Amino acid sequence: MLYSFQQVLESPESYAQFQSVVTNPVIKCGFIFFLWALVHHLCAGIRHLALDLHLGSTLEGSRLGSKLVMVLSIGLTALLVVLSW
């Protein structure tokens, strides 16, 4: 990541090269997957904090919480992707 920032700041040619790499669909999918992993980790951490407060500690509550984490992480990732374009 730091290397890419260095390339962006180096010269206009290196910035153009960086843009061509980032606009590659495979790289975009990788960025989206990485973003989803971060958002999922955040949502799961909030779920675990709720479990520490004994919220959703039953079997049904745990199942609902895990489904909610998945739905929220996918939804928030989609929202962030749409907002970034």
pLDDT values of the chain reduced to their tens digit, one per residue, 85 residues: 787 788 888 888 888 888 888 889 999 999 999 999 999 999 999 999 999 999 999 999 999 999 999 999 999 999 999 998 8
**16 in any annotated domain:** no
Domain residues for the domain of 42 are 25-84
pLDDT of residue 60: 95
Residue 41 confidence (pLDDT): 98
Residues 43, 66: Cα–Cα separation, whole Å? 10
8 within a domain of the structure (yes/no): no
Question: Is 7 domain-assigned?
Answer: no
Does residue 62 lie within any of the structural domains?
yes
Taking a C-beta distance cutoff of 8 angstroms, is the pair 55, 49 a contact?
no
Neighbours of 73 (CB within 10 A): 20
Q: Specify if 14 maps to a domain.
A: no
Tally of domains in the chain: 1
Give the residue among 66, 75, 73 at the shortest CA–CA distance from 47: 66
Give domain status of residue 58, yes or no: yes
